[in-house]
A and B are shown apart, each in its own frame.
Chain A
């Protein structure tokens, strides 16, 4: 029998310390060694970074090569024979490299935060003689102030340049540089100022020794004293895996691990330095009950009793629809699920909503309508592997920094082509700017995305036509869309966006060449008027080019809050049942109510904007607010203040006394995400486990426990022993929702739904989606002010994070230097912003990346600014839009 032992051409066989390894061609020797269990000591090598081969620690003997080779930079070859631990020559080389490094190393291990988890300590322990031959003076660097959050101790530096390379290659920030030569080389901030960067902490984490450390935890611990809990960051929708490190029930630091989590060990400033929120002294310690103008601390029984009984009374007197609930997408899936079950099953109303309503809903609804799934059809891995990426209004570094890293990896390392339609201009700054990497960039004002999206679509279809299968099987759909796009005159589009036919032509040709195309849609789109329509149009674009159902392709709306996606999936939205089913869908309603053994009301209840009206009219008497702060986030024109005033009962489940909580009748203290168990679903639709790292502050309880307790008081008990029981119930109701290992399996478009959509459903709002929104009158003297997320904050929540406040503690009105110069304004000047709604004062900051005619203000500091905002509600998705204001700017 002829056995053809097929050797795949891309596999290479080699021997390392007598062990045989078969690895793909191009693998580095150090990695091949790791795979067969041979650990080659190294400092400068890191799998995330391109090899630099500078430390010389990883030298190995390779047969037939004249001298020792650095295994971190040498690719494997067929038949290679490598000796690492088994070579005297190698051992001598390692000893000598360590001897060299230790020559100038201060050996201050007893006071070094890295001591106990330091590569230099470990390798020294393993390879060096106990006595050094070095008897000269050690080099000493003068201690210098480095930054508010990051500390350097350059005497400890082994000059491996991992930090510098990380900041450049992974972060694209380039904030660090080696300065000086030879032994006098030290790592400093690039430039003559203190470190001013994204403060991702990546350099701290990647430093193999204690040369770069966090000031947030300096000298507070020895690594072996720390207890670890792997969990998920509670800030943005990227859902990074973090490890809380605690000592005596106190959070000491957060870390992450290369190779784990959706973030693959990378974090942003919020994740790495923002953990102190949980231990903020202003945390609410006990339940509070209003007594006139003040609050009295109460015990749980008393507070719950008051809430439960009042709810019962209101329900009996005015019916269940006199009660409404609003919950934050920061809660766990379990909290969200129990919340909506409590509202629907116990109170008996669908009058619930959550922070998805602020924008993410626009994306999810569009996905659901066109492709039948409310989840992405791609994952982060698909972004990395994509060959074309289109970003529309993402502001990705600030809102979803880790998604941003995936894009950077795709573009910088894998050669993907990047098209950006963003309210940003290419410019170098202290934090990275995604449009600097773009191959085709359309820089438009925050109200101009629609024009650019339509122009790009028009160009794609006019130059390439639609895909054959669309022509064949969805002729009417194709023709109708073509007709819509043809109806848009190029001259208008060019005029509107400031880019020419040929600019769009180049981008269109790049777009069409893509086989794996991912379109990312961000907050600038989803939270602004027309956001739903634009997401729909982008889905049309993939459909028309025949890419929608191709693996690796998809439209991906970015979730802002950590569990926005979960809030939708758990049904914490008035017209959505768990699983994302419509409340109008009788079958789903029956299925869920069977699981619950409770009936579910069939009226759709109304969304947040309707609550506001019903609260003002007095129809709603009680509002349960869970972790949300409508008074602190909605603009005055929305009528929120009046709405809250008329309530008979306002209950807030909160960590802090927010603006809304201060108006409450009862405030109930809850657990932070570091203090409870459960799951979060990230923007990809990946469900991940949240683990408790510390005991709750004061009497804080998880939110679900409160609903459960209330249900008992209200005589319709919904008891759970622990979070696991809730998880079990969720899985019974929704078999797909559970933590599913390290990588998500992206959903696929539902062919039936797509068929229905192209078969005619698309017509419903076609005209409005493809009508270029009316031109704004030319306010050449006014600025379009956009309230946006900053990289250093997340909602109002992070304003309680010590570390983040050290980087950004006030809101500035950021404008382009030319825009400022033209108005004779300089950095730090005070200006008045005025429009019909009022006048507010702000300090000006200059940023070259902001387009002319626009100003950006970090939404976290928007207390005053909200007075200027306009407010409108999307007729289709009921999303309230309030992130933009047109205003005059006057220097004071």
Chain B
């Protein structure tokens, strides 16, 4: 089995590493920040990140350096950085480990980012359930402040960079960057329509960068080892660096694995994850969090990078790989995911609000063998009326599981509907939906 050099998980995988400032420093921590303060201009940092090819690890995979470059340089008022630590995508649990086990890595990344974009204030928007993570971050911030890495007159540079932790209140949608900003402003967490984008009208309508935890954690390493080094890892030019992929489902060894982007799913699931837990064959898998359309065994040789997964009809998304074995009902799987999306739709825009409830009811009906002829076409039509017509990307996300399971396993839907036609007397339809 190939061994890959770890970057982000390296420290924490050392025996006894607790993530304290002292240990982080001993492992070379905050050298990047010192280097930046000494040798870099803000633009030089942005350039380095651009050259490294780093793309956002939150889901959309937007080139990080390019995003920073959108921040207006001559803006008179404050600018902000928000670190998205809301990690709520089912099947995704990497940010939690990065925060809890090596908090200074992301803090250092954040301070450098603030320096690059000219922000004096940064917020970590952390998922409400991550109480431990918040405590660890508070402790780490205290340490960093005491050591002069965060706060006023940073390492004697005269710069001020403050970081605050804000706990969410339990809504998946608050991971969407503009909903996150609304929530941070103290409002109900609902996405804003775009444009304008956060880069110009973000937190309190000021220029703002929103970046994922893992994105932030990569920054010190790019500074320390150079953009070229980073750009050579993974599957250049478009998918550089490593990713912490989260493996879950019917596998032997679920968990977080850091690998260079571009290894095939087969290697990831079978070599690293130990393959299927009950030696039943693999039936299908989600390659990048609940929002990513399902793939089939024939896709096992697809490379785990942005382009290849997109070409295969799905997306690398948040890096959560969920595997399902033969015998799993894909209608049931779609229903489970749809229940999640129905529960989490914020209700702001019509197609998602009404569509999610309509979809979940139809799926429930089919699953409970009360489906009707035409239900599959109805599902497809509803999905078509949601995708592309919503305020935020949640709309695309929620139709992914439905459309991809219909595409790959249409016969399972047909079979359930067929059974219903036999079971139900004609014209007698039972109510199935309740909440």
Interface of A toward B, CB cutoff 8 Å: 51-57, 59, 67-68, 70, 73, 93, 96-97, 99-101, 103-104, 133-137, 139, 158-159, 161, 177-178, 180-185
A136-B350 in contact given A52-B193, A181-B344, A181-B345 (Cβ < 8 Å): no
Most chain B C-beta atoms within 10 Å of own C-beta, residue among A178, A180, A181: A181
Name the residue on B nearest A52 (C-beta): B193
Residue interface bits B399-435, CB-to-A below 8 A is 1, else 0: 0000000000000000000000000000001011111
A182-B353 in contact given A68-B388, A133-B378 (Cβ < 8 Å): yes
A137-B347 in contact given A159-B353, A183-B353 (Cβ < 8 Å): no
A56:B390 contact, CB within 8 angstroms: yes
Name the residue on B nearest A51 (C-beta): B193
A103:B358 contact, CB within 8 angstroms: yes
Top 6 nearest A-B pairs (CB, nearest first) are: A100-B354, A185-B347, A96-B385, A53-B193, A182-B345, A136-B361
Q: List 14 A-B residue pairs with CB atoms under 8 Å apart, sorted by A's residue number.
A: A52-B348, A54-B391, A70-B193, A96-B351, A96-B385, A100-B355, A136-B361, A136-B365, A136-B432, A137-B433, A182-B344, A182-B346, A183-B353, A183-B354
B357:A182 contact, CB within 8 angstroms: yes
> Complex Cα distance A182/B345, Å?
5
| Chain A residues closer than 8 Å to B389, beta-carbon distance | 56, 59, 67-68, 93, 96-97
A54-B385 in contact given A133-B378, A184-B435 (Cβ < 8 Å): no
B350:A182 contact, CB within 8 angstroms: no
B9 interfacial contact with A, CB 8 Å = no
A137-B388 in contact given A182-B347, A183-B347 (Cβ < 8 Å): no
Contact partner, A100, options B342, B343, B351, Cβ 8 Å: B351
Name the residue on B nearest A92 (C-beta): B385
Instruction: Give the distance to chain B from A280, nearest Cβ to Cβ, in Å.
Output: 42
A101:B350 contact, CB within 8 angstroms: yes
B171 interfacial contact with A, CB 8 Å = yes
| Chain B residues closer than 8 Å to A104, beta-carbon distance | 354, 357
B391:A101 contact, CB within 8 angstroms: no
Which residues 345-373 of B have a CB within 8 angstroms of A? 345-351, 353-358, 361-362, 365, 372
Name the residue on A nearest B342 (C-beta): A182
Contact partner, A183, options B171, B357, B391, Cβ 8 Å: B357
Which residues 176-191 of B have a CB within 8 angstroms of A? 188
| Chain A residues closer than 8 Å to B378, beta-carbon distance | 133
Most chain B C-beta atoms within 10 Å of own C-beta, residue among A51, A139, A184: A184
Most chain A C-beta atoms within 10 Å of own C-beta, residue among B171, B346, B434: B346
| Chain B residues closer than 8 Å to A68, beta-carbon distance | 388-389
Instruction: Give the distance to chain B from A209, nearest Cβ to Cβ, in Å.
Output: 13
| Chain B residues closer than 8 Å to A70, beta-carbon distance | 193
| Chain B residues closer than 8 Å to A67, beta-carbon distance | 388-389
| Chain B residues closer than 8 Å to A158, beta-carbon distance | 350
Name the residue on B nearest A59 (C-beta): B389
B343:A182 contact, CB within 8 angstroms: yes
Instruction: Give the distance to chain A from B198, nearest Cβ to Cβ, in Å.
Output: 16
| Chain A residues closer than 8 Å to B350, beta-carbon distance | 54-57, 97, 100-101, 158-159
Contacts A100-B385, A137-B431 aside, 18 further interface pairs with beta carbons under 8 A come to A55-B350, A56-B349, A56-B350, A56-B389, A97-B389, A100-B350, A100-B353, A100-B358, A133-B381, A134-B358, A135-B429, A137-B361, A159-B353, A181-B343, A182-B344, A183-B356, A184-B435, A185-B353
Instruction: Give the distance to chain A from B41, nearest Cβ to Cβ, in Å.
Output: 34
A180-B347 in contact given A56-B390, A104-B354, A134-B358 (Cβ < 8 Å): yes
Name the residue on A nearest B355 (C-beta): A100
Name the residue on B nearest A74 (C-beta): B195
> Complex Cα distance A158/B348, Å?
10
Instruction: Give the distance to chain B from A852, nearest Cβ to Cβ, in Å.
Output: 29
A101-B361 in contact given A70-B193, A135-B429 (Cβ < 8 Å): no
Instruction: Give the distance to chain B from A670, nearest Cβ to Cβ, in Å.
Output: 51
Instruction: Give the distance to chain A from B433, nearest Cβ to Cβ, in Å.
Output: 5
Name the residue on A nearest B385 (C-beta): A96
> Complex Cα distance A184/B347, Å?
8
Contact partner, B354, options A73, A101, A135, A161, Cβ 8 Å: A101
Contact partner, B347, options A59, A73, A96, A178, Cβ 8 Å: A178
> Complex Cα distance A99/B432, Å?
20
Name the residue on B nearest A138 (C-beta): B433
Instruction: Give the distance to chain A from B373, nearest Cβ to Cβ, in Å.
Output: 12
| Chain A residues closer than 8 Å to B358, beta-carbon distance | 100, 103, 134, 136
Which residues 304-358 of B have a CB within 8 angstroms of A? 342-351, 353-358
B433:A136 contact, CB within 8 angstroms: yes
B362:A136 contact, CB within 8 angstroms: yes
Name the residue on A nearest B346 (C-beta): A181
Most chain B C-beta atoms within 10 Å of own C-beta, residue among A53, A70, A158, A183: A183
> Complex Cα distance A73/B413, Å?
39
Which residues 369-402 of B have a CB within 8 angstroms of A? 372, 378, 381, 385, 388-391
| Chain B residues closer than 8 Å to A54, beta-carbon distance | 348-350, 391
Name the residue on B nearest A134 (C-beta): B358
> Complex Cα distance A133/B348, Å?
23
Name the residue on A nearest B384 (C-beta): A96
| Chain A residues closer than 8 Å to B432, beta-carbon distance | 136-137
B351:A97 contact, CB within 8 angstroms: yes
| Chain A residues closer than 8 Å to B188, beta-carbon distance | 177-178
| Chain A residues closer than 8 Å to B362, beta-carbon distance | 136
Which residues 54-103 of B have a CB within 8 angstroms of A? none
A55:B349 contact, CB within 8 angstroms: yes
> Complex Cα distance A55/B347, Å?
10
> Complex Cα distance A178/B188, Å?
8
Residue interface bits B206-241, CB-to-A below 8 A is 1, else 0: 000000000000000000000000000000000000
Name the residue on B nearest A182 (C-beta): B345
Instruction: Give the distance to chain A from B353, nearest Cβ to Cβ, in Å.
Output: 6
| Chain B residues closer than 8 Å to A59, beta-carbon distance | 389
B193:A73 contact, CB within 8 angstroms: yes
> Complex Cα distance A56/B193, Å?
11
Instruction: Give the distance to chain B from A54, nearest Cβ to Cβ, in Å.
Output: 5
Most chain B C-beta atoms within 10 Å of own C-beta, residue among A52, A134, A180, A182: A182
| Chain B residues closer than 8 Å to A55, beta-carbon distance | 349-350
| Chain A residues closer than 8 Å to B354, beta-carbon distance | 100-101, 103-104, 183
> Complex Cα distance A738/B167, Å?
61
> Complex Cα distance A136/B430, Å?
9
| Chain A residues closer than 8 Å to B355, beta-carbon distance | 100
> Complex Cα distance A158/B351, Å?
12
Name the residue on A nearest B387 (C-beta): A67
> Complex Cα distance A100/B358, Å?
8
> Complex Cα distance A542/B356, Å?
60
Name the residue on B nearest A75 (C-beta): B195
| Chain A residues closer than 8 Å to B434, beta-carbon distance | 137
B357:A181 contact, CB within 8 angstroms: no
Most chain B C-beta atoms within 10 Å of own C-beta, residue among A51, A103, A104, A177: A103
> Complex Cα distance A180/B365, Å?
24
> Complex Cα distance A136/B344, Å?
20
| Chain B residues closer than 8 Å to A133, beta-carbon distance | 378, 381
Instruction: Give the distance to chain B from A40, nearest Cβ to Cβ, in Å.
Output: 15
| Chain B residues closer than 8 Å to A159, beta-carbon distance | 347-348, 350, 353
Instruction: Give the distance to chain B from A159, nearest Cβ to Cβ, in Å.
Output: 6
> Complex Cα distance A97/B381, Å?
12
Instruction: Give the distance to chain A from B241, nearest Cβ to Cβ, in Å.
Output: 29
Instruction: Give the distance to chain B from A736, nearest Cβ to Cβ, in Å.
Output: 45
Most chain B C-beta atoms within 10 Å of own C-beta, residue among A70, A104, A136: A136
| Chain A residues closer than 8 Å to B345, beta-carbon distance | 181-183
Instruction: Give the distance to chain B from A412, nearest Cβ to Cβ, in Å.
Output: 13
Instruction: Give the distance to chain A from B386, nearest Cβ to Cβ, in Å.
Output: 9
Instruction: Give the distance to chain A from B330, nearest Cβ to Cβ, in Å.
Output: 22
| Chain A residues closer than 8 Å to B385, beta-carbon distance | 93, 96-97, 99-100
> Complex Cα distance A100/B188, Å?
23
Name the residue on B nearest A135 (C-beta): B429
A56:B351 contact, CB within 8 angstroms: yes
Instruction: Give the distance to chain A from B300, nearest Cβ to Cβ, in Å.
Output: 32
